[in-house]
Structure formats: C-alpha cells, structure tokens
Amino acid sequence: MARTTEFDDPTLSALADEGAGAGLPVRPERSYWIASTILLVVFLASWQYATKSGLIHQIILPAPSDIAQDAPELLTDPDFVPHVVTTTVEVVGGFLFGSLVGLALGIALALSPLLRRAYFPLVAAFQATPRVILAPVVVAWFGFGIQSKIVQAVILCFFPVFLNTLVGLSLTDDDAVKLMRSLSASRWQTFVKLRLPDALPTIFAGLKVALTFALIGAIISEFVGAEYGLGYLLSKYNFELRITLVYTLIVLLALLGLALYLLLDWLDRKLVFWRTDR
C-alpha cells in the first residue's frame, strides 16, 4: 500500500503552493554543498591553527598542510596501488558475501516462525560476542592472505542486513496481505510483489550500515596479520611514527568508504524508486 507524505494533505499542498506563489525563496540543492564546503574550510582552518600555534603537539595531530605536503610520497609509491586494490577487494568481497548471508537468513527466518524461534537466539548470541576477538582465530584458520580478511568482513557485516531484512519483512501491513490473498495470490507472489518491495528501504538501510562494518572488518584483519592492504600500511607507518602518512591513510580510508557508500546510495535510489521521502 502506498505511503503518504506531508504534501498528500490537500490543505498542506495548498499552503505550499501559496507560499511558492508568494515568492518565498526555494533553497536550491547547491546551497547545501556550499554550506558543507564552508564548514569543511572552517574545520581545516581551525585544525591548522591549533597545530601550528602549539595548542596541540604535531606528533599527536599534524597540521593539514603537513599532511598535504607528505601525501605525494605515499601516493607516488609504486606499491600503493596494490595496497588500495587489496583492501577494496576485501571490503567489497566481504560486503557481498556477508550481505547475501544476511539477506538469505533474514528471509528464511521471516517466512518461517519455527525457524525464527529456533535460530534467532543463536544469531543474537553470536552478534553479542565481540567479533573483534575472532580476528586472530580467523587469521589462524584462513592464513594471512586475502581470504581471512574477507571472512572477517563477512562476520562483521552480515548481522545488520539480516536484522533489517527480518524486521522489514515483518512490517508488511496486514490489510495489504489480506488484499493479496483475496486476489488469489500465492505465498510466493505475495512475497515478491508485496513483502519484499515493502521491505527494500529497510534492507538498504541495513546494507549501508553493513558496508561500513565490512571496511572495519577488513582493516582489523590487516592489523592482526597481513602483507598488503591499507590497514597493513597504517600499522607500519604508525610503528615508524610517520604520523603525517598515518593521517593520509585515514583520509584515504574515509574517502574509500564514502565512495562505496555513495555508490550504494545511488543503487538505493534507482531500485527503490517509489520511495516518497527522497
């Protein structure tokens, strides 16, 4: 069933049209980017002043200008691209496998009350276990290669997808389900044409959370033991007290996570095109 928005109310729609006709300013999308840019400039300027004036020691927090000055040393290193590719493959691979596991398990438990009562406590208990402590065990099982990093990413990111899938499929309106039954729809048709589309916004919310967890899982595994990856470089430069390169890597990891998130958000907008809160 269709969800309503505030402007589905005729009175509110009339007021909105009246305000537009009265010449009230309509804030363009570009203004948000301008505000974000100003906030970023102010933040960087404050950071630069705090470090250069001595308020914060530069070995703790180097100035943005020093980070920018030393960044080319890292970016021009011939081994830098393989490190980026390794971490990206770990994150994407772990996210895809973890999301598939979470989606399949969430659908199975949502469609079967028996399975939900039997297995949800076990899944919840596994989630309650600090997954970080499993990183050494995973490395011991799967070695120092890329496989252990993908497994750790899967362990961290499957639960948000599982939980959001289970919750989303459980929130379908009962009247809508009854309407499908009155139209002689099968259980599979009700799932594909009603319950799954209705749950997609919630599922995508879980996918976005899972993506950040996949990045965390990959980096944690690289801390424990790796020969390549941005987490390996981060640990190496931190041990060598090359703090500017450490912060360069932190910025690059943030940009990598942001790029993957924006890609997933674009996919969300394309697939869940009927959403009215966009």
Q: How confident is the model at residue 3 (pLDDT cuts 50, 70, 90)?
A: very low
Calculate the average pLDDT of the chain. 80
Nearest alpha-carbon partner for 94 in 125, 135, 140, 133:
135
Q: What is the pLDDT of residues 227-275, one digit of tens each?
A: 788 888 888 888 888 888 888 898 889 988 899 999 988 988 888 777 6
Question: Which tens digit of pLDDT belongs to each residue from 109-130?
Answer: 888 888 888 888 888 777 777 7
Give 16's pLDDT tier (boundaries 50, 70, 90): very low
Residue 103 is predicted with a pLDDT of 92
Domains with residue ranges and CATH for the chain:
76-271 (1.10.3720.10)
* Full-model pTM: 0.77
